[in-house]
Chain A
Amino acid sequence: MEAVFTKELKPFLDAVAERMELYVPKKAGDYYVFKRYEPSDEVAAEFNNIRACTPVKEFLFPLCELAAVFPKTVEPEDVKPFAIFGLKDCDLRSIEILDKVFAEEEFKDPFYLKRRENMFVISSDCSEPGESCFCTVLDGRPYADSGFDLNVSQVRDGFVIEVGSEKGKGLIEEHSQLFSEVPEVLLSERDEDRSETQKQLEQKNAELRFDTPIKEIVENSQESEVFDVEAKNCVECQACTRICPTCHCFYLYDTKQKDYFAKMKMWDSCMRQAYAEVAGGANPHKVLGDRIKHRLMHKFVYFLDRYGIEMCVGCGRCVDADVGGMDLREVLKKLSEELKDKGKKKAKATK
């Protein structure tokens, strides 16, 4: 794939911002969040070594939006082209998952599609993954090799920018004066950095490298008590589902406006007690432990059955956000242990 070199990030981002709305990672406390790029800011942009703490879904599937107007009809609002700098491989994989739901099925979501078509993705390599990052367990990597328009890797003296699409290529060509050829040595340096980070991640998550596929571990946990035990720590804040880049449950509700009625679409959470309740009062997930179980089943079993990929990218955001102290990695470990014990007992019984 084509790549170019630039010493500085700012002229490149200025060039992007000239063409479209640009969002860049900005530090907010210990974390990065995406903010509109302001070329005149003292620190206009920095290279985020780790994913932002907010999920990319916010750009494609906003917290709340107008879905229909009645009795008139509503067209998706005119979305201007926009770019996001600093998305990581886990973010790109979460877009792939959301695409399956909103862009590829028989019923497409016109609002999602509109934003997706106008989104320009500038991803970047992770050089300092966080404590909660476990992407490698779910076949992810600390760098992207597809799904972007441009990808930025930080190297000695500057940045390598890789082209991932025609749109990306067009932008680089239009501003060719900003870039130079990449010295071969920098490319190999980048590749070394990448494998070094990947190795670190794999070592850190060695305990999560299960002998049994995660799908099988979760699928076999129907009768497990682990979920009820975990429920004791859960305070039902729903942060895990809000911050998850792949959770996409939503709620439709109707409102009265001055001269029309509107149907709104808003994020919902399967951790909410009344989430699955019907008008008659029946509720298949009345018990919190059952809701936690359903969430894991959806992520690691049902979604995989339906779309061929897991609905988790191992970004660890839910781990960081959890107020009560539930850690998805620990839950998976417990379920894996439980399955092993079950296997041992079975083996004993058949002897």
Chain B
Amino acid sequence: MNQNPYQPIAGEVTDIIDESATIKTFVVVPEEEFKFETGQFVELTLPGEGEAPFTPSSSPAETKKMEITIMKAGRVTGLLHQCKKGQKVGIRGPYGNGYPIDDFAGKEVYIVGGGVGLAPIRSLFLTLVDRIKDFKSVVCRFGARTPDDLIYKKTLFGAWQKIAGVEMKLTVDEADGDWKGNVGVVTTICDKKDVDIKNAVAVVCGPPIMMRFATMKLLEFGFGPKDIYLSMEKNMSCGIGKCGHCMLGKYYVCKDGPVFTYEQVKDYRDIWA
């Protein structure tokens, strides 16, 4: 094993899938075996340019390649969006704790996601679906700004809807002519009766504002703070709990997270910023 935690392993982008105007999925094949658990993140290096943290959107069961869904949001992601197939990249990780899916067994899993937050959720979803019988049900409430911004459209409207044990509703903030579904923020498709709250856990991932309102809604429904799992987005850099950038109170999001229960972080004022 590599003793230098700052050393990436080499990988290659073998395919790039356009998901929306600002979001692309990169298929990355690492040169060495690379295992991760769903919800953990990696540091992806564009050699010579920079590094940024992403939670893979593919299933951890897939060990030969990994998919990373990236929104164009800053300098490194902007440069990544200009890359072509064959681009060499560096990968460090996996880092952090991932979703404690064994603890979800026997329960209803209520997943609320928005925008590019569907990326980590896709990995979780595929992991749950692989052993769907272990869970009472998987209930999804996904949203995006417009129909065009909904990522993974093919599977969202196709295969995923047909899986036994999965129930899914979609919404957009602003509809266009063809949209026949719900219009409104994601909390407008969430209902107290969606799951049996006493025997359910909730997973929330999306833009900070959406996470905030979704969490408040879930608390209102009666979810306990310990049963709401949040995937926190902070400025993770070293990935190993040293450089300090991602600190959230006493936690290093990179090492103690990125998945936290609301209970763990609720007393810090800066969680949604």
Chain A 201-245 interface mask (CB, 8 Å, partner B; 1/0): 000000000000000000000100000000000000000000000
Please report which residues of chain A, range 72-94, place their CB below 8 angstroms from some CB of chain B when the two chains form the complex: 73-76
B21 on the A face (CB < 8 A):
no
Task: Tell me, in angstroms, the Cα distance from A110 to B7 when the chains sit together.
Answer: 11
Task: Tell me, in angstroms, the Cα distance from A28 to B195 when the chains sit together.
Answer: 70
Q: Are A252 and B5 in contact (CB-based, < 8 A)?
A: no
Please report which residues of chain A, range 125-154, place their CB below 8 angstroms from some CB of chain B when the two chains form the complex: none
B237 on the A face (CB < 8 A):
yes
Q: Are B234 and A101 in contact (CB-based, < 8 A)?
A: no
Minimal beta-carbon separation of B75 from chain A (angstroms):
8
Please report which residues of chain B, range 12-59, place their CB below 8 angstroms from some CB of chain A when the two chains form the complex: 45-52
Q: Is the interface of B mostly helix, strand, loop or mixed?
A: loop
Task: Tell me, in angstroms, the Cα distance from A279 to B237 when the chains sit together.
Answer: 12
Known interface pairs A73-B4, A254-B47. Does A107 touch B237 (Cβ–Cβ under 8 Å)? Answer: no
Among listed A44-52, A191-199, A260-268, A333-341, interface-contacting one: A260-268
Q: Which of B4, B71, B76, B234 contacts A276 (CB 8 A)?
A: B234
In the complex, what residues of A have CB within 8 A of residue B208's CB?
282
In the complex, what residues of A have CB within 8 A of residue B248's CB?
284
In the complex, what residues of A have CB within 8 A of residue B224's CB?
none
Q: Which of B7, B237, B246 contacts A73 (CB 8 A)?
A: B7
Q: Which of A105, A256, A268, A305 contacts B48 (CB 8 A)?
A: A256
Interface centre among B2, B88, B238, B240 (most CB of A within 10 A): B238
Minimal beta-carbon separation of B3 from chain A (angstroms):
6
Among listed A13-21, A35-43, A179-187, A294-302, interface-contacting one: A294-302
Q: Are B240 and A107 in contact (CB-based, < 8 A)?
A: yes
A-B contact pairs, 8 of them (CB 8 A): A71-B90, A261-B47, A261-B48, A278-B73, A280-B233, A282-B233, A284-B271, A298-B244
A contact set with B: CB distance below 8 Å: 67-68, 70-71, 73-76, 101-102, 105-110, 222, 248-256, 261, 263, 265, 268, 270, 275-286, 290, 294, 297-298, 301-302, 305-306
Other A-B contacts than A70-B10, A281-B73, 18 sampled, CB-CB below 8 A, are A67-B7, A68-B6, A68-B8, A70-B7, A71-B90, A75-B4, A102-B242, A108-B5, A109-B242, A110-B4, A252-B51, A254-B48, A268-B243, A275-B245, A276-B234, A279-B73, A282-B233, A284-B271
CB-CB nearest 3 A-B residue pairs = A279-B74, A284-B270, A256-B48
